Amino acid sequence: MRLIVGTIIVFLCVFGGYAAMGGKLLVLWQPFEFVIILGAAIGAFIIGNPGPVLKGVPGMFGTLVKGPKYKQADYVELLGMQYSLYKLIKQKGMLAVEQHIENPHDSTLFNAFPSFAANHHAVEFVCDYMRMLTMGVNNVHEIDALMDEELETHHQEQERIYAAMQSIADGTPALGIVAAVLGVIKTMGSITEPPEVLGHLIGGALVGTFFGVFVAYGFFGPMASSLKSTFEAESKYYLSLKAGLLAHIAGQPPVMAVEFARKALMTDVRPTFAEVEAATADLPA
């Protein structure tokens, strides 16, 4: 919704303001200028980015439209899952979780929390570290460092996606100048034409500069910023898991481990202590 509303406002203010000044909108219709700028931008995007980023383009636009995929209900469910997991370990010992981490798709514990169970990366994250605990690894600092490395890798994978969008935003003003120069070259080839023809040609050339700056700062730049903020918000899901797991490894009781996990969330989606307490009150181990 933000993408749609923002796009409408940009178009109305720019083209509406131009028309209100007495400008002729038809002059701005220079399709070959658009082909030069957008075509070169797409080509540069393909040259400058690896296959995984190119394959992620549809998902990139899906993220822009939908925003962060985790809502407050998902975080409440995440905290509830952690509470049930840590409570199970406290009551029955580490060996009790082996059946869940070795076959998570059939785990009654994980499947009791549908949004978590559907998150392949989150399930894998929990199972990997729980498996390490069952094998006797319990040094908090070593696991903390390993989690940081894994989450940093995940962050770098997301960073190259919004960095690719930002590179388009940085490059399209220059490509607009390229289109404008080509338009001027075309105009110089018609220098013997009357002033009204030359004026039309020069106006068309300047549209290239306008369009490059317009799409860069009106769309591509804000899109890159939106992707960055969305990915940063979503990363809190894993940071919450990390905080809860480390607190559990350090010997905190389930209710306190969950509180550590809750504190890692952003305030706009962070449930209150009372909401978490109510959600976890009747959860079985």
Q: Looking at residue 265, what is its pLDDT? A: 93
For 89, what's the count of Cα atoms within 13 Å in the CB-facing half-sphere?
Answer: 23
Q: Looking at residue 38, what is its pLDDT? A: 93
For 106-137, write each residue's pLDDT tens digit: 899 999 999 999 999 999 999 999 999 888 88
List, in order, residues 6 or more apart from 84 with CB less than 8 Å away.
109, 112, 113, 280, 283, 284, 285
For 64-81, write each residue's pLDDT tens digit: 888 888 999 999 999 999
Q: Looking at residue 47, what is its pLDDT? A: 93
Q: What percent of the chain has pLDDT over 70?
A: 99
Q: Is the pLDDT of residue 263 over 90?
A: yes
The average pLDDT across 251-264 equals 93
Cα–Cα distance measured from residue 141 to residue 157, given in angstroms and rounded to the nearest whole number: 25
Q: Looking at residue 58, what is its pLDDT? A: 85
Q: Looking at residue 284, what is its pLDDT? A: 63
Q: Looking at residue 86, what is its pLDDT? A: 93
Q: Is the pLDDT of residue 23 over 90?
A: no
Contact call for residues 134 and 98 (beta carbons, < 8 A)? yes
Residue 262's pLDDT band (boundaries 50, 70, 90)?
very high
The average pLDDT across 223-241 equals 92
Mean of per-residue pLDDT scores for the chain:
90
Q: Looking at residue 148, what is its pLDDT? A: 92
> Which string of DSSP letters, residue by residue, matches the chain?
-HHHHHHHHHHHHHHHHHHHTT--GGGG--HHHHHHHHHHHHHHHHHHS-HHHHHTHHHHHHHHHH--S--HHHHHHHHHHHHHHHHHHHHH-GGGGHHHHHSGGG-HHHHTSHHHHT-HHHHHHHHHHHHHHHTT---HHHHHHHHHHHHHHHHHHHHHHHHHHHHHHHHHHHHHHHHHHHHHHHHHTTTTS-HHHHHHHHHHHHHHHHHHHHHIIIIIHHHHHHHHHHHHHHHHHHHHHHHHHHHHHTT--HHHHHHHHHHTS-TTTPPPHHHHHHHHTT---
Residue 45's pLDDT band (boundaries 50, 70, 90)?
very high
Range in 52-66, 184-198, 224-238 the model is least confident about: 184-198
Cα–Cα distance measured from residue 113 to residue 226, given in angstroms and rounded to the nearest whole number: 29
Q: Looking at residue 163, what is its pLDDT? A: 92
Residue 149's pLDDT band (boundaries 50, 70, 90)?
very high
The average pLDDT across 251-278 equals 92
For 177-189, write each residue's pLDDT tens digit: 999 999 888 888 8
Which pTM was predicted? 0.81
